[in-house]
Structure 1
């Protein structure tokens, strides 16, 4: 069985929130901008990460108005003495005709998270293959569902070679 070290957990945690890269200039419709702005506020979450052992994860997430109809976010999660910091932007990218999320973090992670709108809910899904600090391949699947009352985050990390996995679910509220 693979033991998930602190940096592997932090790397996986970076994957679940959003993706890396820069969102193009947004020219969203007023309804799309209003949807993004409806998530602005201070959010807190607590959940469980399950792998070889169960661990508690505690997170804070702040969403604020950004430039050009974007919403900026910054957050921090703590897991077994490891802290992950993230920051980024949510936007409707008119050129791609979709919602996108961009992220930077203190863990080396890259990818693109695409969002789908259903009513007042916006769901971002991410599937990536990365390597941990030891060079082992990881398959990462993450989902974040934003609604005016709650944010739900779920992610799975699976080691390609062994099949060992790490799963987390973190509900956030204002």
Structure 2
């Protein structure tokens, strides 16, 4: 009788835990969905001959199951940077992941780091510029409460020149 009761209790616990996992994943997706909408941000590109205005728009939309997609465009005095990507909660891995690509030839993938109510993604890549020189390109995406921050960085390995822009987005 005691073994049978123990089995029933154990089976009930297993069912309860497995029922909680999808609920947790749904909570993570609900959190990502709070970022759906149109965002704008303004900053300066720092590090060239002089600082340049850096204005961005970002659209976050519902993607496939478990994902949100984003597209964005940032304008400088004489150039435009376009980005697109996906942020997802991977239930089977128990983590967030982000992917990004740009018209500048950048492609990156990062695992999200969760700290309190902040999720951050550090996307970095070594690439070649149009002249064939090595370039380190990076973007850090930070989601916290109802804000998005994107930090862009480009380092030209030949010259050591670094260009950065920290763009806070709001609706």
Q: Are 2:28 and 1:35 aligned?
A: no
Partner of 2:121: 124
Counterpart pick for 2:78 among 72, 77, 81: 81
Which of residues 94, 97, 102 is equivalent to 1:105?
102
Cα RMSD over matched residues?
1.9
- CA 95–135 in structure 1, closer or farther in 2 if over 3 Å, else same: farther
The SS at the match of 1:133 is coil
Question: 1:134: which partner in 2?
Answer: 131
Match of 2:60 in 1: 63
Gapped runs of 5+ residues in structure 1?
1-26
- 2:136 is paired with a residue whose SS is strand
Q: Higher relative contact order by CA 8 Å / sep ≥ 6: 1 or 2?
A: 1
TM-score, normalised by the number of residues in structure 1: 0.76
Equivalent residues, number: 148
- Asked whether the equivalents of residues 99 and 107 of structure 2 are also in contact (C-alpha less than 8 Å), the reply is no
Shift, 1:58, TM fit: 0.6
Q: Which has the larger radius of gyration?
A: 2
TM-score, structure 2 as length reference: 0.77
Name structure 2 gaps, 5 residues minimum.
1-21
